[in-house]
Structure 1
Amino acid sequence: MNITGNTIFIPGATSGIGLALAVELHGRGNTVIVGGRRAGLLDQIAAAHPGIRTVQIDTADAGSIATVSARVIAEHPDLNVLIAMAGIMRAEDWHTPAGFLDSAEAIVATNVLGPIRLIAAFVEHLQEQADSTIVTVSSGLAFVPLRHTPSYNAAKAAVHMLSESIRLQLADTTVKVVELVPPAVRTPLMPGHEEREDAMPLDEFIAEVISLIESQPDAHEILVDRVAVLRHAEARGDYEQVVAMLNGTETHATAQ
């Protein structure tokens, strides 16, 4: 993926990693369109960051994705990058259905069906561009599970395998598939995340991501150093030890 000269749509970018990435990419000379559910937040983003475009979209709603994506393509026919950023993370208790079922269904709708529907809405348009990219967002928890968030772990594992698979299928097109794999980052993804001392500061994460994109434009995965302990645990042969480390304290070190 080139770091500049793109037209980029980032649904789910009204806070956290998505918004910080949108601001940084806009500053690098890209046209950036931010999507989100809440009109008030979108208005604040447009006012605080002149030049960033905004559009209201609900990535858990199939109709919203279809309608808004068509409008984005019509208004930005040179759009060549989709970053499927939207995601939710919730703690669950799988001892009884009341402890997890509603949460699991919401997570699958947003974290799995959301990216699938977004890709479906844009994949034909992206193939018409000379150089285009789909960026998916998984997690270190796609590779090592956190016991408190089973559905989130599973959803991010699905995003990882989806990325691997569609990269193979789209190899005969102009579309690259890049997987962003965050560690724990200080964002409002869950209550208390922004204050977690064990999590990576957001500005440091974004700076390292941008540096990796610049230095490795053909990379299939964007892996900051902090996520390597999770991403490569099985290959290193210390998977069980990393699972124990991750789940051994209340701080859940290195997980996002």
Structure 2
Amino acid sequence: MDVRGARILVPGASGALGGALVGLLHGRGATVAVAGRDRAALDRLAAAHGGLPARQFDAYDLDACAGTVRWAAERLGGLDAVVVCVGVAAFGPADAVGDAVAEHLVTVNALAPIAFLRAALTVVPPGGVLAAVTGMVARTPVAGMADYSAAKAALSAWLSAVRRERRRSGVGVLEIRLPHLDTGFAGRAVAGRPGALPDGLPVERAVDAIVGALESGGRLVRSGDGGTLETVP
């Protein structure tokens, strides 16, 4: 997909990763609509890039997630890609994480991204891309993060299945399986505190890899050798 001139919706744009991605896409000539939970952060982001269309949503309202896709398509005159950067973490042993926290993790990390992308299936044309951020835990679950790992694994499985369903349609499905990033994400967990974490990958490197994968038609962004990110065709 040629990013220049592409019409792209970024749910989760009020977070550090989503905001950085919006900045890079806008700088590369994409036409971007932004959506997120934090209205003030969205307004600042939209204003910083010339008045982007912006919409607030609640991840618990799955109809609103789907409706945001239709809103973006109307505002931009169509959609060529949706890149979902929504997510929240929690820490603690499985027997200490309550059902309410588990429900929250599954909703925000799996059901809401799926609602965005399910709606996008009816909007994004051949040559377009459906993408979502998962994480290394989707492949290698982490002790002390069982429910978070399970939610991300569910999203990863959904993306893989939809990729098979759409392989003849010309619509790409990209999983962005990122390592720990230097965004403060772990410090905003809804429950528990993280243990010792490795140095986070700079967010700039992550968004460079995401945009590169959109442009090259990759199906997976993942950790490579030496702390790099690689795109799997």
C-alpha distance in structure 2 between counterparts of 1:118 and 1:211, whole Å: 22
User: Hey, what's the Cα distance between the residues in 1 that align with 2:208 and 2:66?
Assistant: 33
Aligned length: 223
Question: 8 Å contact 1:182–1:224 — kept in the other structure?
Answer: yes
Aligned to 2:6: 6
Q: Match of 1:182, SS?
A: coil
Instruction: State the Cα distance separating 1:41 from its structure 2 match.
Output: 1.3
Matches within 5 A, 1:24-173: 24-96=24-96, 99-126=97-124, 129-173=125-169
Q: Is the 8 A contact 1:7 1:81 kept in 2?
A: yes
- 1:104-157 residue CA offsets vs partner (Å, 9 max, x unmatched): 10011111111221122221111xx24211012111111112212111111111
Q: State the alpha-carbon separation in 2 of the partners of residues 30 and 63 from structure 1.
A: 26
Secondary structure of 2:122's counterpart equals helix
C-alpha distance in 2, partners of 1:2/1:59? 29
Q: Which runs of 5+ in 1 are unaligned?
A: 232-256
Kindly indicate whether the alpha-carbon contact (under 8 Å) linking 1:183 and 1:227 is maintained by their aligned counterparts in 2.
no
Taking the aligned partners of 1:60 and 1:226, their CA distance within structure 2 comes to 37
CA contact (8 A) 2:34 2:54 kept: yes
1:219 aligns with 2:213: no
> 2:15 & 2:88 partners in 1: Cα distance?
12
Where does the alignment leave 5 or more consecutive residues of structure 2 unmatched? 189-193
- Pick the structure with greater CA Rg: 1
C-alpha distance in structure 2 between counterparts of 1:130 and 1:211, whole Å: 19
Aligned residue for 2:187, secondary structure, equals coil
Looking at structure 1, the residues matched to 156 and 66 of structure 2 have their Cα atoms a distance apart, in angstroms, of: 23
* CA distance in 2: counterparts of 1:66 and 1:212, whole angstroms: 24
- 1:178 aligns to what SS in structure 2? strand
Structure 2 contact 36–57 (Cα < 8 Å) conserved: yes
Secondary structure of 1:83's counterpart equals: strand
* Equivalent residue, structure 2, for 1:245: none
CA distance in 2, matches of 1:204, 1:45: 20
* Aligned-residue offset at 1:167: 0.4
Q: Secondary structure at the match of 2:24?
A: helix
SS in 1 for 2:17: helix
Contact 1:4 1:30 in 2 (8 A): yes
Measure how far apart 1:223 and its partner are.
Answer: 2.3
Deviation at 1:38, TM superposition (A): 2.1
Deviations 1:48-67 (A, max 9, x none): 22253321122331232233
1:170 and 1:212, CA in 2 relative to 1: closer, same or farther beyond 3 A? closer
Tell me how far apart the structure 1 counterparts of residues 155 and 226 of structure 2 sit (CA, whole Å).
16
Provide TM-score, normalisation by structure 1.
0.78
- Please name the residue that 2:185 is paired with: 189
Aligned to 1:183, the other structure's residue is in SS state: coil
> Counterparts of 1:108 and 1:55 in 2: how far apart (Å)?
23
